[in-house]
Structure 1
């Protein structure tokens, strides 16, 4: 199969992973407060989580989760509460040398947990599996293709957002600018919860 036949899927994955949302907001904040290298476990957790979610969606697990409204609601609620807690911590933090509320980057396990409790992510990866099932000649190829594409694209996207946060941090000179920046990121993170409920 040629690369041209995969191009619609690749475009879908790129747009899905680069669009601003909870993970990209957290990557920007992490880059601003902790730098790129200290943010890598978080980015690896999100990338692995999204890649494994896409693989599971292609294998059929996503359909099972979406078939049980109570399970879907519980996941949505847990994910929303966690994101709101992170948003609250973010808005209360100051410059990197004062950030008493955010002492370390989000961990690999927390990032993985966050992704797997996101019904929007399940819907997106399940939609990709259903829409692009024809690109793979066998189901196992679809599992592998979706898992790899979503994982790689997420890591690349989060890296760019993290670097953007790092560059923004160099422009912020005063405590007031840092408080405004953190409040804005916290607000964006809180807003990112809304699409999960629509």
Structure 2
């Protein structure tokens, strides 16, 4: 079976009813707390919305690219070489712990320029490949919402839908963090917020921790 449809009109109409559930899945998955959203909220507080835009766009486009690449076969690489996925997963967990430590030790707003820098576009895009939640979302989209008949066209549509829904969903977290800049003026309050975000980031690793305990 070819991934490419012989004719774009051959895309089955039966796949269209999946667009609504797919959009809902993308919304719920994108807007709920996870490593990306915790880091975006922290970036919004410490650096503001404008300086966090490369981070925001890197997450959105990096995740969309991840869905597409997983769909066209990258996931099968990990099926054939499970050890590679295991290494990537635990390396990602270690990196998340490092990021949590960095967030917890972030300075107040006026120190943001000297004590740290927001993620760049490429850093945020690359981060998706070691983000456990991003992997779960990408595999879920490909396995559940991408019909096999006319697969490539459906994969492109699913990637576009997820990208469109994801951007405003994660943008809310940057906006939330930025809005807190007007409320949290005291260094102690900012430090408490950053520590809270760091703890949420650590808590997002609970699936990896449970696997280690088994």
Alignment match of 1:17 (pick from 30, 38, 61): 30
Runs of 4+ displaced beyond 6 Å:
none
Structure showing greater Rg? 2
Alignment match of 1:94 (pick from 107, 113, 117): 107
Structure 1: distance between partners of 2:140 and 2:104:
34
Aligned pairs (5 A) from 1:152-171: 152-171=164-183
Q: Which residue of 1 aligns with 2:205?
A: 193
Q: Which residue of 2 aligns with 1:69?
A: 82
Residue 144 in structure 1 maps to residue 146 in structure 2: no
Listed one character per residue, the Cα deviations across residues 82-126 of structure 1 (whole Å, up to 9, x for unaligned) are 211111011112211124784210111111111012344223212
Q: Which residue of 2 aligns with 1:60?
A: 73
Q: 1:101 to 1:83 in 2, by over 3 A?
A: farther
Alignment match of 2:96 (pick from 71, 83, 90): 83
Deviation at 1:32, TM superposition (A): 0.7
Deviation at 1:173, TM superposition (A): 2.2
Listed one character per residue, the Cα deviations across residues 36-57 of structure 1 (whole Å, up to 9, x for unaligned) are 1111111111111110111112
Residue 124 in structure 1 maps to residue 102 in structure 2: no
For structure 1, list consecutive stretches of 5 or more residues without a partner in the other structure: none
For structure 2, list consecutive stretches of 5 or more residues without a partner in the other structure: 1-12
Alignment match of 2:190 (pick from 178, 188, 191): 178
Listed one character per residue, the Cα deviations across residues 48-72 of structure 1 (whole Å, up to 9, x for unaligned) are 1110111112212123224422111
Deviation at 1:162, TM superposition (A): 0.2
Q: State the TM-score, normalizing by the size of structure 2.
A: 0.83
- Does the residue aligned with 1:171 lie in a helix, a strand or coil? coil
Deviation at 1:137, TM superposition (A): 4.5
- Does the residue aligned with 1:98 lie in a helix, a strand or coil? helix
Deviation at 1:34, TM superposition (A): 1.1
